[in-house]
Amino acid sequence: MKTRHIQYGASEAERDYYRSLVKQHGSPLLVVNRSKILQQYNTLKSYLPGVAFYYAIKAFPHPEVLHLLAEAGCHFDVASEGEIDLLKQLQVSGRRTIHTHPIKKDSHIRAALRGGSTTFVVDNIDELKKLIPYRSRTGVLLRVSFRSESATVDLSRKFGCAPGQVLELATEAQSLGVHIRGLSFHVGSQCANSDMHVSAINQCMQLIDECNQNKKNPMNMLDIGGGFPVNYVGDDIDLDTFFKPVGQALSQLSSDINIIAEPGRFLVAPAVTGIASVSGKARRGDYQWYYLDDGIYGSYSGQLFDHVIYPLQIFNTDETRTPSILAGPTCDSIDIIAEDVALPDMADGDLVIGHMMGAYTYATAATRFNSLAGANVIFVD
Amino acid sequence: MKEFQETLYDAISQNFRIDKMYFEQKTGHQHLMIFHNAVLGRVMTLDGVVQTTELDEFIYHEMMAHVPIFAHGNARRVLIIGGGDGGMLREVLRHSEVEHVTMVEIDAAVIDMAKKYLPNHSAGAFDDERAQIVIADGMNYVRETEDRFDVIISDSTDPIGPGEVLFTNDFYAQCKRILNEGGVMAAQNGVPFFQIDEVKNTRLRMSAHFSDQTFYSAAVPTYYGGIMTFAWGTDNAALRGTAIDELRARYQNAGFRTRYYSPEIHIASFALPQYVQDAI
Ligand SMILES: Cc1ncc(COP(=O)(O)O)c(C=O)c1O
């Protein structure tokens, strides 16, 4: 069980900064730091040179974020027509995308092709057959399942074929006239270590070699997915320790292989800060309740869906603290951000800052519960 | 430097330099551009696919209009499905014996935009009193109309996208219904070298409704991949065999000059490469 981290107190400059943002833009807010996103992108590039990055739009599907990354040369992982449309608005060519959803309706395939997205991910024979009508136009990555024990979010249960099925699928594809460009995997999100990435890379390398022995169209792409971790609190992730073995494993690949990755969380998580404020409070039983203007149906939805507990910060350093509950604004009882936390007395309008709130927060916040508008997304440099 | 990169195929693509952007529209799922390229002149693209360029549009439009009309020899009423840029209308109206052309375009905005940014395509054809412009879904139109035509030209977009219905069984059936006896339909059918399945599909669907079904071809350079095919459907098997002397006489009588079409090209265009023959 992960525990909540609360930072009590803030420098005067910090306080002024957050308060002035609220004064200007209202509350609640999600504040996106552009330079932090670029910094994360550059960090990835330096750890994994030669890898082409396809930002997993789902992590924070905001046009400004896409624009920023597009300008920086990043490519995009799309999984729906809506995500393709976001790129269309920004005039990002479909050629800079791959479509990574393994399960598609025919209408999804057609919409992707119209959007110029021509590389598709597939993990079984039925899905492969859906591409037959479009085989002259498309390329395919076979998604292989490698489950990481250390991932917070397991993404190799729902999708991916077993490594043992790859050769058969590749052979089948060849006889159907569908071109397999290479392999892809996604070991899971927020992986504490890179053991599974390394092992998956090595196994894929062997599988590609094996498949290429009797194929006239050699595979030449390996997509290592996402899963690159960030430090929430207590994750204690050392980037060198995580990335060096991955880079090392990739350097063993033949130079014919194009390597791509689909980072989501790593690019955006540390770049976004949530600002909520106290709307009202009540004493109930043993607890002091504070009702905030953002919650589980809003930016804090990631606590439910993404299994993350965001580090919080309040400004009051008073050491007299009572057991408290931070609740969200909806009428639902599940809408609680933090149970049983020790808080000093707070007043209406006091701010609660949530850190590391970039990945899978805004993305899952778009509920209509109580018709609440949700946090305003603003950008700073 | 801005570039247009075509998104038709995963493994290959053609690139055009964008020297000046005239028009760009992103409505709903659609992305339309008109830009200038130093070699090609004005270029129109839809959803990452080249639709027409000023440099080579004459090949496409002449071949799609003049082959069926000269083969028919007495076309009074012509139906164009699509063709919002006006190039097809322009070529059809050059035939003085054509008394009436109905052009059915799904999107009025395409016509307005083409008049403004691709004026050389229609070259005034929209003002011709023989032309009637209908803004409607082509499929609905052919299903519902009581009008009849001697020649139907389907100037559609790619089958993946808005033009999809214009490649269906039902569409061919309805075209047949509204053709006068001895009439003929011609339909854009893609580049067979890279899209042989489209030839096979059309063959299957169209030949269910017409006793004579084949393809003819022309190379339109900016439709990347070699020759493109035009589907041909009629119950008058004699049309495709119209003799060269007859075609020469009709061409002579028509009294206009063409830049790609000639009676000789007309005859030759029905000769298909063996790989296309094998597919059909
Ligand atoms: C196919 C695919 N690629 C990439 C990602 C992004 O993963 P992460 O945010 O862990 O980098 C996801 C996340 O769900 C995914 O499903």
Tell me, letter by letter, the H, E, C secondary structure of A148-159.
Answer: CCCEEECCCCCC
Rounded to a whole number of angstroms, the CA Rg of chain A reads 23
Q: How far apart are CA A302 and CA A150, in angstroms?
A: 19
Tokens of A57: 């739009």
Asked if B160 and A134 come within 8 Å (Cβ–Cβ), the reply is yes
Mean pLDDT to the nearest integer, A190-205: 94
Q: Which atom of ligand 1 is nearest to the CA of A100?
A: 1
The pLDDT score that the predictor gives to residue B29 is 67
Q: In the structure, what pLDDT confidence band is assigned to residue A2 with cuts at 50, 70 and 90?
A: low
Among all chains, which residue has been given the structure tokens 């027409």?
A: B52
Tokens of A295: 């919650």
> From residue A194, how far is each of A44, A239, A248 by CA, in Å?
14, 10, 11
Which residues in chain B are contacts of A85 at CB distance < 8 A? Answer: 29
Q: Which atom of ligand 1 is nearest to the CA of A360?
A: 9
Asked if A136 and B194 come within 8 Å (Cβ–Cβ), the reply is yes
Cα three-residue angle A205-A206-A208, rounded to 5 degrees:
65
Any idea which residues of B carry the catalytic annotation? 155
- B19 pLDDT higher than 50: yes
Asked if residues B40 and B236 have their Cβ atoms less than 8 Å apart, the reply is no
Mean residue pLDDT of chain A comes to 93
- A161 pLDDT higher than 70: yes
Q: Which of A144-153, B172-181, B219-228 has the lowest mean pLDDT?
A: A144-153
- Residue in A94, A113, A179 closest to B160 by CB: A113
Mean pLDDT to the nearest integer, B90-96: 98
- A327 pLDDT higher than 90: yes
- Residue in B13, B161, B196 closest to A95 by CB: B13
Asked if A118 and B9 come within 8 Å (Cβ–Cβ), the reply is yes
Which residues in chain A are contacts of B13 at CB distance < 8 A? Answer: 95
Distance A268 CA to ligand 1 centre (A): 12
Asked if A114 and B24 come within 8 Å (Cβ–Cβ), the reply is no
The pLDDT score that the predictor gives to residue B186 is 98
Q: How far apart are CA A187 and CA A196, in angstroms?
A: 7
Q: Spell out a b/e string for A217-250, using b for 16 or more CB atoms within 10 Å of the CB, else e.
A: ebbebbbbbbbbbbebbeeebebeebbebbbebb
Read out DSSP for A28-58?
SEEEEEHHHHHHHHHHHHHHSTTPEEEEEGG
Whether residue A28 has a cis bond before it, omega within 30° of 0: yes
Asked if B48 and A91 come within 8 Å (Cβ–Cβ), the reply is no
Distance A78 CA to ligand 1 centre (A): 10
Cα-to-chain-centroid distance, residue B265: 17
DSSP class of A247: H
Q: How many CB atoms lie within 10 A of CB A72?
A: 14
A133: closest chain B residue by CA:
B197
Which residues in chain B are contacts of A93 at CB distance < 8 A? Answer: 5, 7, 48
Tokens of A16: 């002024």
Asked if B24 and A119 come within 8 Å (Cβ–Cβ), the reply is no
**pTM here?**
0.89
Q: How far apart are CA A320 and CA A266, in angstroms?
A: 37
Distance A167 CA to ligand 1 centre (A): 25
Distance A49 CA to ligand 1 centre (A): 20
Asked if residues B192 and B279 have their Cβ atoms less than 8 Å apart, the reply is yes
Instruction: List, in order of start, the domains of chain A with CATH numbers.
Output: 6-31+269-380 (2.40.37.10), 61-263 (3.20.20.10)
The set of protein residues with a Cβ atom below 6 angstroms from ligand 1 is A 56, 58-59, 77, 100, 155, 186, 189, 225-228, 262-266, 359
Asked if residues B239 and B250 have their Cβ atoms less than 8 Å apart, the reply is no
Which residues in chain A are contacts of B10 at CB distance < 8 A? Answer: 118-119, 137-139, 179, 181
Interstrand relation of B15-17 and A75-78 (parallel, antiparallel or unpaired) = unpaired
- Residue in B7, B13, B197 closest to A133 by CB: B197
Distance A153 CA to ligand 1 centre (A): 10
Asked if A114 and B196 come within 8 Å (Cβ–Cβ), the reply is no
What phi, psi does B154 have (nearest 5°)? -100, 100
Identify any residues that bridge with A77 across adjacent strands, giving them in sequence order. Answer: A56, A98
For residue A251, the number of C-alpha atoms closer than 13 Å in the C-beta half-sphere is 9
- B178 pLDDT higher than 60: yes
CB proximity B25 to A under 8 Å: no
Q: What percent of chain B has pLDDT over 90?
A: 90
- A1 pLDDT higher than 60: no
Q: How far apart are CA A57 and CA A65, in angstroms?
A: 9
A117: closest chain B residue by CA:
B7
Asked if residues A125 and A172 have their Cβ atoms less than 8 Å apart, the reply is yes
Which residue's alpha carbon is at the smallest distance from atom 7 of ligand 1? Answer: A226
The pLDDT score that the predictor gives to residue B43 is 97
Asked if residues A119 and A79 have their Cβ atoms less than 8 Å apart, the reply is no
The nearest CA of chain B is from the CA of A93 a distance in Å of 8
Among all chains, which residue has been given the structure tokens 């052309």?
A: B101
CB proximity B27 to A under 8 Å: no
- A137 pLDDT higher than 90: yes
Question: Cα torsion at A117, A122, A125, A131 (round to 10°)?
Answer: 0
Mean pLDDT to the nearest integer, A263-270: 98
Asked if B161 and A115 come within 8 Å (Cβ–Cβ), the reply is no
Read out DSSP for A95-111?
GGEEE--SS--HHHHHH
The nearest CA of chain A is from the CA of B68 a distance in Å of 30
Asked if A95 and B11 come within 8 Å (Cβ–Cβ), the reply is no
- A20 pLDDT higher than 70: yes
The pLDDT score that the predictor gives to residue B28 is 65
Say which residues have a Cβ less than 8 Å from residue A9's Cβ, sequence separation at least 6.
Answer: A314, A315, A316, A317
Distance A48 CA to ligand 1 centre (A): 17
Collect all residues from A whose CB is shorter than 8 A from any CB in B.
81, 85, 88-89, 91, 93-95, 110-111, 113-119, 133-139, 179, 181
Condensed to tens digits (0 to 9), the pLDDT of residues A339-367 reads 999 999 999 999 999 999 999 999 988 77
Which residues in chain A are contacts of B26 at CB distance < 8 A? Answer: 88-89, 91
> From residue A243, how far is each of A88, A223, A237, A251 by CA, in Å?
33, 16, 10, 12
Burial class (CB in 10 A: 0-12, 13-18, 19+), A376: middle
Total residue length of chain B = 280
Amino acid at B127: D
Asked if residues B36 and B2 have their Cβ atoms less than 8 Å apart, the reply is no
- B245 pLDDT higher than 80: yes
Tokens of B64: 């799609």
Q: What 3-state DSSP class applies to A371?
A: helix
For chain B, positions 150-189, list CB contacts with chain A under 8 A: 160-161, 164
Q: Which atom of ligand 1 is nearest to the CA of A188?
A: 10
User: What sign for the dihedral angle of Cα B185, B191, B193, B196?
Assistant: negative
What phi, psi does B149 have (nearest 5°)? -135, 155
Tokens of A315: 């400004």
Among all chains, which residue has been given the structure tokens 């919080």?
A: A312
Which residues in chain B are contacts of A133 at CB distance < 8 A? Answer: 197
Interstrand relation of A139-144 and A119-122 (parallel, antiparallel or unpaired) = parallel
CB proximity B132 to A under 8 Å: no
Q: How far apart are CA B204 and CA A115, in angstroms?
A: 28
- Residue closest to A366 by CA, chosen among A114, A93, A60, A16: A60
